[in-house]
Amino acid sequence: MSTEMRFGIIGEGDEVLQAYQELSTAENAQVSMVMASNPGARRDLGAMITVPIVETVDEVCTHSDVEAVYITLGAGPREEAATKAVAAGKHLLFPEPWDPPLDEALALCALADELDVRLGIAAPWAVDGGHLASRMLARAGLLGEIASWRADLLRPELMADPLRLALPTLALFGWLTDLGAEQVYAQQAPPIDEMSLLILMVCYSNGCVGNLRVGSGIPGGVGRHPEGLRMLGSEGRLDLSQGPMVYRTRSTEDAPAHTWRPVRAMGSRGDIAQAMAQFAAQVQAGEEPPLPARALLQPLRILEAARRSLAEGAPAPIAD
């Protein structure tokens, strides 16, 4: 077996070139071919890359020199291409955010399980040393019982669906804690000009409550407070807004209590190329990728329930 996983890239334009550059620098990975349906895009790519450039999804999915596929297409064409790739036995890697309709995500995960194909998301935080150490703190109970979390995701630019901004934060909290969400209450703030502001309250099985503000067209964006997840436990706090910082009520050998300190990192700082490299290495070793697509099923369920809550004006249960 080759020491490098051979990737085909499916997408259009600049996103294909960016994916090519990232995969080309990732250990354990190499690019075998790329696909772009637009003739102009194929011409432009041909001047910058050295691998074959094909016109159709099928050419990538059926090629014997492709083991895994990285898909940068938007919703709709992305799911159609993903289904073809999985049906052809290719492993799949998606950029973040992965935001298909829940029923399509469930069907794709089921097909992948049936065919023993791995689906992963190239999220830098899932391979970042500081985040991995933060995950250990949370799951080992070193912050006590997780009681709440909060985050603000406020953008000055206008968006048709700002709610999708919530997916990476919801995925990150689930990855850190493994807590199951049970109910969400979503409210729309009164519209002012072109501003759209949504407030989500997510309730978890242990009683934890998450509070998330998501908005587009927000004057000043996030403002003076760094964007990021902040968690509160019965024995400490975790702040992921500016490099993971931890506050604990109990001392350890290398960390006195009652002081904010950087989380001791386990490994290097994560980026997309590292996420790609670890996906390739772990899948080749027969292991789950760093962030399996199925880990994003709960965030997709939360968003589906949030949309029901907005429509009904009441809390909505989160389906299993």
Domains parsed from the chain with CATH numbers: 5-125+271-289 (3.40.50.720), 128-267+301-317 (3.30.360.10)
> Which two tokens mark 251?
């001392």
d(CA 309, CA 317): 9
Give CA–CA dist 264/255, Å, rounded: 10
1 pLDDT more than 70: no
Determine the residue type at 99: D
Other Cβ atoms less than 10 A from the Cβ of 319: the count is: 9
Closest Cα to residue 186, out of 173, 171, 170?
170
* Whole-angstrom distance, CA of residue 281 vs CA of residue 28: 6
pLDDT digits (tens, 9 = 90+) for 78-107: 999 999 999 999 999 999 989 999 999 999
* Tokens 């001047």 found at: 47
With 90 as the cut, is the pLDDT of residue 223 above it?
A: no
Which tokens belong to 136? 């250990």
CA distance to 175, 192, 201, 257, per residue, from 188 (Å): 27, 11, 12, 40
**pLDDT value of residue 38:** 85
**pTM recorded for the entire structure:** 0.92
DSSP secondary structure letters along 227-246? P--EEEETTEEEE-SSS-EE
pLDDT of residue 2: 55
